[in-house]
Amino acid sequence: SDIEKGTYPHYMLKEIDEQPLVMRKIVQQYQNEQGELTIDSAILDAMNEADRIYIIAAGTSYHAGLVGKQFIEKMAHIPVEVHVSSEFSYNMPLLSKNPLFVFISQSGETADSRGVLVHVKDLGYKALTITNVPGSTLSREADYTLLLHAGPEIAVASTKAYTAQMAVLSILAYVTAQSKGLMVGMDLVKELGIIANSMEVLCDDKEEMEAIAREYLSTTRNCFFIGRALDFYVGLEGALKLKEISYIQAEGFAGGELKHGTIALIEDGTPIIALATQEHVNLSIRGNVKEVVARGANPCIISMKGLETNEDRYVLPVVNDMLTPLISVIPLQLISYYAALHRDCDVDKPRNLAKSVTVE
């Protein structure tokens, strides 16, 4: 590949480290001369005409879509559904009168997502693609495109594209809200700056992430991620990262759902990675941790400054509580990376996986 790893042993580690830079690049790319965030007015019109948004994506991009739904609903007050692209046509939802389809795809080439795009264009609907690759199939075939500006992502396990997708979705939600005269109650340029700085702090703490991977994941068969609210979605992505590159069986759960079945799998020493970055669910997620600890689980609580207790394994710096997924995923990416390394896995090219899947 013509993209160099430089001094990095793996593309994945390089791409994790690029995330602060990508955040700053995205803010720059979406700022006008006055320093205000802007989006192409044709896209804003499409957002404002839509009575419902359908986000369509696969894999990591689907996980970014789940977070994006919260941004759009909370900031811009437009209802959003998020669908896995391969399932959309089988379980096609009843569509609203004026739907807007938003395709999220790092590569812009995923066949499952393209299948849905072709179908909804046939039905006469408008589509926006959010992608890292200008001129990609999904970008060309949609009415509008928003670029991620993350630079080429080479490692099969997606890292910087995921945080870039969430950042661009936050900008889309924020600018749409402003165009409707809605109060968002934050300065997103400033908040994304804080995100970039916090990402840097986390990327500088690799020794600690490696220690956590060694402590919890060097011999385990399985691992569970739990969280509530936004932390639930980040847990899904954390589990996917770990599965993809370390081959440890991992699942992400809503904190309250574990007791409805999966808790049966908890044995002595089973690692549970619990995210606790959301103040309104902090007590409940800690309650869930107690439930699994009572069954012998080995808990690794990742919390946020201000919400921490002395049982937490890692405490994240404070960021805006709607944007926590942009930083809470970084330790999960790094922990997965080191778990894969310790288990002698091929980090950048995991077995059975492809970077872009162009078959259905």
Gyration radius (Cα) of the chain, Å: 20
- Residue 114 to residue 139: CA distance in whole angstroms: 10
- Asked whether position 61 contacts ligand G6P by CB under 6 A, the answer is yes
> Which of these segments, 53-61, 200-208, 226-234, 256-264, binds ligand G6P (CB under 6 A)?
53-61
Shortest reach from residue 148's CB to ligand G6P, in Å: 10
Q: Which is nearer to ligand G6P, 156 or 274 (CB)?
A: 156
> Which of these segments, 36-44, 55-63, 87-95, 219-227, binds ligand G6P (CB under 6 A)?
55-63
Residues comprising the chain, all counted: 360
**Contact characters 233-272, ligand G6P, x per CB under 6 A:** ----------------------------------------
**Contact characters 144-173, ligand G6P, x per CB under 6 A:** ------------x-x---------------
- Residue 46 to residue 52: CA distance in whole angstroms: 11
- Identify any residues that bridge with 200 across adjacent strands, giving them in sequence order: none
**Contact characters 109-138, ligand G6P, x per CB under 6 A:** -x--x-------------------------
**Number of residues counted as binding ligand G6P (CB under 6 A):** 15
Read off the tokens for 298: 């080995």
Spatial CA neighbour of 16 closest among 244, 313, 337: 337
- Residue 1 to residue 202: CA distance in whole angstroms: 28
Q: Which is nearer to ligand G6P, 255 or 350 (CB)?
A: 350
CB 259 within 8 A of CB 285: no
Q: Is 49 left (phi over 0), alpha (psi -120 to 50) or beta?
A: alpha
Shortest reach from residue 136's CB to ligand G6P, in Å: 9
Shortest reach from residue 65's CB to ligand G6P, in Å: 10
Q: Using DSSP, state whether 81 is helix, strand or coil.
A: strand
Binding-site member from 11, 56, 59, 248 for ligand G6P (CB under 6 A): 59
Shortest reach from residue 357's CB to ligand G6P, in Å: 5
- Residue 352 to residue 257: CA distance in whole angstroms: 30
Residues 200-219 that bind ligand G6P (CB under 6 A): none
Which string of DSSP letters, residue by residue, matches 141-208? Answer: HSSEEEE-------SSS-SHHHHHHHHHHHHHHHHHHHHTT----S-HHHHHHHHHHHHHHHHTTHHH
Spatial CA neighbour of 130 closest among 205, 203, 65: 65
- Residue 18 to residue 282: CA distance in whole angstroms: 30
> Which of these segments, 105-113, 286-294, 304-312, 340-348, binds ligand G6P (CB under 6 A)?
105-113
Binding-site member from 19, 106, 303, 333 for ligand G6P (CB under 6 A): 106
Residue ranges binding ligand G6P (CB under 6 A): 58-61, 105-107, 110, 113, 156, 158, 353, 355-357
